Amino acid sequence: MTILDAINHPNRFLLLRSILSVIYKHLRFFEELLNSLSVAVLLLVIMYFWSNLPLNFIMEETFTKFTVKVADKLDRRSSAPYGMDDVMFINVSHSSAIVDDPEGTHVIADRRKLDTLMQVLHRYSSPEQIIVCDLYFDIPSANDYKLQSSMSQLPNLLSAVKTNWYGEITPNILRAGTSGTTGFRPPRVPFMIFSNSMVKFHLTDHNCVKTIPVQMYERVNKQKASCLGDALQIGGDWFFNTILINEELSRGIPKAVYEDQVVTIQNVINGVRENNEEYVSHLKKSKFIMIGSYDTDIHHTTFGDKPGTMILFDIFLSLQQKENAITAGWLLLTVTFLTMLIYNRYYHFNFLKKYMIWLDERTTVLGFKALPAIDWILFYLMILCSAVFFHVYLEAVAGIFFLAVFAWTRIYMKARYVKLQQFKRSGRRWSARALFSFLFIKPGFKN
């Protein structure tokens, strides 16, 4: 509303004047609230960028396990969008071939059997069926031309390309299907407080190259994905670009069921040749065919080892169920909670003190003091609510760490500001010794 509008509309002007009057009367409160809101937004932005880094605190594993288990117990959704009848896992681990080239001897998937499998899929699959070939075709062999011809007959074929730590892609030698990255990045060697047990799945790489689960989501929902920085937009929904890998992503399909559903490529080929109704029916009815090496392509997760091809399907299911979707409700809850937490920490720490003293008196025997730990207790409750009600998984330990850094920085700057005023009033001149005392000596300046 402009000044001219306020003059022409007395009612609006009176309302604006009343609001400004309330702000003026409680100017200190609104100043503190605005400062808390700014720090809350800054904390959320830092946590967001941290989620895209390949670093995880060791303690985060315990937090994640507990959060996922509680979220599953309180989950309002009854089942996953797809069942085991909708997907077929085909294992090529026991069908290998030896290839010799100038760089040495390599073991690859038997491409002659892959060619036969692709012909079978072309015969029995439907045009809407999505076929994922989670195998790298980076080494040439004698049967490449026939395999490429068979793969090109499948309209919804997705194949994996190899990427290194820096996101550099090794192209497929087979020009068939749509290539996509797998989203797995080799974890760096952990040091000190960091761990490589928690592997984050990246939905896109640094150059916004889409992973296979994102491409699956696009084809199923007829929507296109695009990147804006580290955020991912699919249709009208925004997602975090990373998802923590765990066994509960599928929500309703337990890990043990996966292990019973994997079939070998040879059994599929033999079953079709023998006109086995079980294999033929499964091939026709399956909406997803996931081809991969289920014995050798294993990734370590917080909940144990799991084949990479199954993780790709899990990530697709998580996208279908809007896992880690950035919604307006989640943003409002998170920013409001962080603002209140920082406001209480910075300006009115005694607000909850009487309740914490009561809790301290009853937990002293356990060696636990609630009063100093009120920040991370409340913060973890917010993380838990985010996972249960909005299915957004934040890293609790990282958030607590940054919250502590903010608090310590504020205390330090406030103390140094007081010492700076004392130094100015003393009339002394700056020197290396005075600067060192100002920065590091707690009692302040001495004569």
pLDDT, residue 9, reads: 54
pLDDT at 350: 58
24 occurs within a structural domain? yes
Out of 263, 288, 320, pick the residue that ends a domain.
320
- pLDDT recorded at residue 332: 92
Query: Does residue 417 form part of some domain?
Result: no
Q: How confident is the model at residue 404, as a pLDDT?
A: 80
Please report whether residue 135 resides in a domain: yes
Give yes or no: residues 157 and 27 share one domain.
no
**Last residue in a domain, options 320, 352, 367:** 320
d(CA 92, CA 42): 48
Whether 247 maps to a domain, the answer reads: yes
- Do 145 and 27 reside in the same domain of the chain? no
Q: pLDDT by residue (tens digit) across 409-424?
A: 877 777 777 777 777 7
Q: Are residues 274 and 130 in the same domain?
A: yes
The pLDDT assigned to 310 comes to: 86
C-beta separation of 119 from 355 below 8 A: no
pLDDT of residue 254: 46
- Asked if residue 435 belongs to a domain, the reply is no
Q: Is residue 66 part of a domain?
A: no
Does some domain include residue 190? yes
Residues 21 and 121 in one domain: no
What whole-number distance in Å separates Cα of residue 162 and Cα of residue 172?
A: 8
Q: Give the Å distances, CA to CA, from 161 to 52, 58, 98, 156, 178.
A: 21, 31, 20, 16, 10
* Per-residue model confidence as pLDDT tens digits over 90-111: 888 887 777 766 666 767 788 8
- For the four alpha carbons of 58, 314, 221 and 386, in that order, the dihedral sign comes to negative
292/383 same-domain check: no
Q: Same domain for 202 and 186?
A: yes
Interacting residues of 424 by C-beta distance below 8 A, sequence separation 6+: none
**One domain, residues 244 and 296:** yes
Percent of the chain, pLDDT > 70?
74
State residue 331's pLDDT score: 92
Look at residues 178, 175, 233, 176 and name the one whose alpha carbon lies nearest to residue 204.
233
The total number of structural domains in the chain stands at 2
Residue 157 lies in a domain: yes
Polymer length in residues for the chain = 447
| Regions in the chain scoring below 70 on pLDDT | 1-13, 15-17, 19-20, 22-24, 26, 75-80, 100-104, 106, 164-167, 185-193, 195-197, 246-260, 348-373, 430-431, 433-434, 436-447
Are 47 and 108 in the same domain?
no
Check whether residue 341 and residue 305 sit in a common domain. Answer: no
Please identify, among 291, 320, 349, the residue that sits at the C-terminal boundary of a domain: 320
Question: Structural domain of residue 362, as residue ranges?
Answer: 3-51+328-405
Shared domain check, 122 and 239: yes
Shared-domain flag, residues 293 and 372: no
Residues 285 and 210 in one domain: yes
